[in-house]
Structure 1
Amino acid sequence: MNLDNRHPAPRPKVKCLLVDDLAENLHALSALLADDEVELLQARSGTEALEILLVHDVALALIDVQMPEMDGFQLAEMMRGVQRTRDVPIIFVTAGSSDRHRQFQGYESGAVDFLFKPIEPHILKSKAEVFFQLWRQKQQLAWELQERTNSLRIQEMFTAVLSHDLRGPLSAIQLSAKILEKRSDEDAQTIGGRIARSAKWMGRMIEDLLDVTRVRQGHGIPITRTPVDLASVVQGVVQERLVLSPDRHVNVEAEGDLHGSWDGDRLVQVASNLIGNALRHGTGDTVTVKLDGRHADRVVMSVLNDGHIPAELLPSIFDPFRRGQRQSARTEGLGLGLYIVQQVVQAHGGSIQVSSEPGQPTRFDVRLPRAI
């Protein structure tokens, strides 16, 4: 969704607080700062100023130092002690001399500047305008953040609903493919097989979209742990992948105990994405999968191929909807595969690393704890 086509950000009036115990001083300051886009709030004491600050968000506070009962320094210290007002910029206004000790006391109380009477109108307006502009920019950024958050939430809801609704027609396609595969006509069986594989591929993409929506909404990847033999999972994935790439080879090297408490279906996603990527993007004919079960607490699955990932792409390799520079003749997926792999591995309490050095195979290493 393009934010540039939306209605512009609201432009509320900037509020400025003027605090002085003398009415004539407040009138003078109000006359100097009068502007159609600025709302001036006046207070005759520190107590009245605090009451105003409980109701209004101000961009700047101009505070007289010498006031009875509560002077400007005491008011500033009280403002800094409250979460709501601690970040309000304060400029002290004083008729006293530019005593350095007094200035240091003012800065320690939270002042950003001092103005000495008689006030030069141009200086006052220029300094105030700086803080007014900063406040407007802060409001603009807050509005844009809210708009983008709302847009992302709507898009995620749309993705979740669309993915759910696509399951209906996809089921009909899969059923039709099964009927064709059972026909005696060889051509019909071939067509049915192709439709079934394509439907399965589409089903995986739908599940990927749903998984991304779950993660971005804070629900995480759901897993159900059962006893799993990782070697059997990988062998099944290899056989399925080689049907789609009959001219390629996948060598599986397994050693040690490859059993653990994992979500078998989720590990199929991990192995299928990693092996599928290696087959599509590798430059050689062979992909190697190494399964290392020699450690008592973990199992490591490594997928190696002769392709090379540019160094500038490695930091974002697991980002969702990422596309590499090199595309295969047949583009598959939505750029979610490696992101889903990372999320599934992390849901198991494991980790995944990638390395791709010139002259060395590209290698993905998945470390899975046998149990949590």
Structure 2
Amino acid sequence: MLSNVQAKLLIVDDLPENLLALEALIASPGREVHKALSADEALSLLLQHEFAMAILDVQMPGMNGFELAELMRSTEKTKNIPIVFVSAAGRELNYAFKGYESGAVDFLHKPLDMQAVKSKVSVFVDLYRQRKTLKEQLDALERSRQEQEVLLKRLQVTQSELEHAVRMRDDFMSIVSHEVRTPLNGLILETQLRKLHLARDNADAFTLDKMRAMVERDERQIQSLIRLIEDMLDVSRIRTGKLSIRPAQFDLAQLVRNLVDSFAPQVAAADCTISLLADEPVLGIWDEFRIEQVVSNLISNALRYGGKGPVEVTVYGHNGWARVEVRDHGIGISKENQLRIFQQFERVSGSNVVAGLGLGLFISEQIVAAHGGRIEVESALGDGATFRVSLPL
């Protein structure tokens, strides 16, 4: 509502009685009249308030009304305030022309016509209120536009995230179906082969040595399926904040020593060598199962991507931290890929190796972070990779 906009009016005259009379004439609800007995006093008020209009007496001691008007027009804060001059001088002095040159919008002669003064003040007050209301509306529109821009950007980000999530889901389902199918196909083929031998009463196919080999093959396929399922369960636990950590004291060097020994069949299958440097015990309080999971994943990756080169594992303590480093001499990881390999379902691109869900490093980083540690990678394309796990003792 325009009537709700408070309008401030400035009247300047060196005679107090003139100020009182003019104030009584133009005062009304919704208007706030400020009086000044000199140009200097008026300037002080102009710096403090925003005025709808100013009524200036021309003839004042010191700085006169024309000079005050010129100063107002040269100042950014006051240059748009409508100025009405009032003078008791005769019309023959041509003050009106000089007043308009100084930037006035009107010129009144004393004695004042009360109705004319009231009418002119009402016009300028209404214009001021309309201008203020319009500015408020424009400001509100600008705020609304900015809010809509922010919402649009959020929607675009959300849409991008949803599209990425859909792509990840599709990729995940494709990877899972492939990874699960591989051990299942092995089990199915083994089962069909045994059924065929049984149907033909081929007892030679079930000698002790052959049965032992069958069990070992079955066990490898079943362990692959269990590992896939456990990875997917761990991701679910991480997302819901339910990844369990059960700390207890143990020797990290001994754990890694046992783990390296257990990898002998995989090392032989990868046609490479693995070495361990763990001269001193490294005692700390961690979740033994989870730390074994992390180191096992790093060694598996080193064998997978190592290009039959040697794998070097080092365990040591340093300044209150336990360190495990796993280095391979394989394809290496580009700077770009180093930024994303710890994300879900990400694997090193540009290699022919596609096995795995791309969850190992993501899960490993979450486990290490849950222990207050960190996992880092140093690598260059064609120059292998070193993964370093740091755990607070």
* TM norm structure 1: 0.55
CA distance in 2, matches of 1:323, 1:349: 25
Given candidates 66, 84, 93, the residue that maps to 2:7 is: 66
2:332 counterpart of 1:304: no
Please tell me whether the aligned partners of residues 6 and 30 of structure 2 are also in contact (alpha carbons under 8 angstroms).
no
Structure index of larger Rg: 2
- 3-state SS of paired residue (1:202): helix
Relative to structure 1, the CA distance from residue 359 to residue 209 in structure 2 (aligned partners, 3 Å threshold; closer, same or farther) is closer
Q: 1:26-175 to 2 correspondence within 5 Å?
A: 45=4, 64=5, 66=7, 100-101=76-77, 131-141=143-153
Higher helix share: 2
Q: 1:264-283 to 2 correspondence within 5 Å?
A: 264-283=288-307
- 3-state SS of paired residue (1:256): coil
Please tell me whether the aligned partners of residues 220 and 347 of structure 1 are also in contact (alpha carbons under 8 angstroms).
no
2:226 counterpart of 1:231: no
- 3-state SS of paired residue (1:205): helix
- 3-state SS of paired residue (1:327): coil
Q: 1:285-304 to 2 correspondence within 5 Å?
A: 285-293=309-317, 295=318, 297-304=320-327
- 3-state SS of paired residue (1:201): helix
CA distance in 2, matches of 1:213, 1:102: 65
Please tell me whether the aligned partners of residues 242 and 248 of structure 1 are also in contact (alpha carbons under 8 angstroms).
no
The CA deviation at 1:125 is 9.1
Gap regions ≥5 residues in structure 1 = 1-19, 23-44, 46-63, 72-92, 104-114, 164-169
CA distance in 1, matches of 2:219, 2:212: 10
Please tell me whether the aligned partners of residues 242 and 249 of structure 1 are also in contact (alpha carbons under 8 angstroms).
no
The CA deviation at 1:267 is 1.3
- 3-state SS of paired residue (2:324): strand
2:291 counterpart of 1:315: no
Instruction: Look up the equivalent residue of 2:328 and give its one-letter code.
Output: N
CA distance in 2, matches of 1:321, 1:189: 35
The CA deviation at 1:263 is 1.1
Q: Say how many residue pairs are matched.
A: 260
Given candidates 195, 215, 235, the residue that maps to 2:238 is: 215
Instruction: Look up the equivalent residue of 1:250 and give its one-letter code.
Output: I
Aligned to 1:325: 349
CA distance in 1, matches of 2:242, 2:6: 55
Aligned to 1:76: none
Relative to structure 1, the CA distance from residue 216 to residue 69 in structure 2 (aligned partners, 3 Å threshold; closer, same or farther) is farther
Relative to structure 1, the CA distance from residue 116 to residue 216 in structure 2 (aligned partners, 3 Å threshold; closer, same or farther) is farther
- 3-state SS of paired residue (1:270): helix
- Deviations 1:280-314 (CA, angstroms, capped at 9, x unpaired): 11134310001114x47332111111122112222
2:390 counterpart of 1:367: yes
Given candidates 241, 244, 249, the residue that maps to 2:263 is: 241
- Deviations 1:300-332 (CA, angstroms, capped at 9, x unpaired): 111111122112222223222212113344x32
Sequence identity (%): 28
CA distance in 1, matches of 2:217, 2:52: 88
2:370 counterpart of 1:347: yes
CA distance in 2, matches of 1:245, 1:336: 22
Instruction: Look up the equivalent residue of 2:348 and give its one-letter code.
Output: G
Please tell me whether the aligned partners of residues 7 and 30 of structure 2 are also in contact (alpha carbons under 8 angstroms).
no
The CA deviation at 1:69 is 7.2
2:274 counterpart of 1:250: yes
The CA deviation at 1:102 is 6.8
The CA deviation at 1:271 is 0.9
Please tell me whether the aligned partners of residues 95 and 118 of structure 1 are also in contact (alpha carbons under 8 angstroms).
no
- 3-state SS of paired residue (1:255): coil
- Deviations 1:58-101 (CA, angstroms, capped at 9, x unpaired): xxxxxx46396799xxxxxxxxxxxxxxxxxxxxx996599843
Aligned to 1:11: none
Gap regions ≥5 residues in structure 2 = 9-28, 33-49, 55-72, 80-126, 177-182, 195-205
Please tell me whether the aligned partners of residues 245 and 287 of structure 2 are also in contact (alpha carbons under 8 angstroms).
yes
- 3-state SS of paired residue (1:335): coil
